[in-house]
Amino acid sequence: MDGKFTSRALFPFDGERKVEFYELRFAPGHTENAEAHAPGTIENLILIKGRLEIRVGHTAPMCLQRATRSCSKPMSRQLPESHRQ
């Protein structure tokens, strides 16, 4: 681990619960690539501080800023994605 990205499970998957919560931290300028999730997976992002650029598959990036209430379009995690602060 290089310290540019950390993921901490707040409520990890346990089989009974259908929801997981993670705290993600990104170093400024860092890009983190993630594999696609199973079809039907939905992610909700809450940005506490800074700005986050999200790209799903080959789509145009979406930007979240602190206090942003929603993304400009729905996100499906059936495609690989990247996150950059």
Task: Report the C-alpha gap between 26 and 16 in whole angstroms.
Answer: 30
Residues 6+ apart with CB under 8 A from 75: 42, 43, 54, 56, 62, 81
Number of structural domains found in the chain: 1
Give the pLDDT score at 50: 86
Q: How many CA within 13 A on the CB side of residue 4?
A: 10
Going by pLDDT thresholds of 50, 70 and 90, the confidence category of residue 82 is low
Structural domain of 38: 5-84
Going by pLDDT thresholds of 50, 70 and 90, the confidence category of residue 81 is low
Convert the pLDDT of each residue in 43-65 to its tens digit. 888 888 888 898 888 888 888 88
User: Which has the closest alpha carbon to 83: 7, 20, 2?
Assistant: 7
Across all residues in the chain, what is the average pLDDT?
77
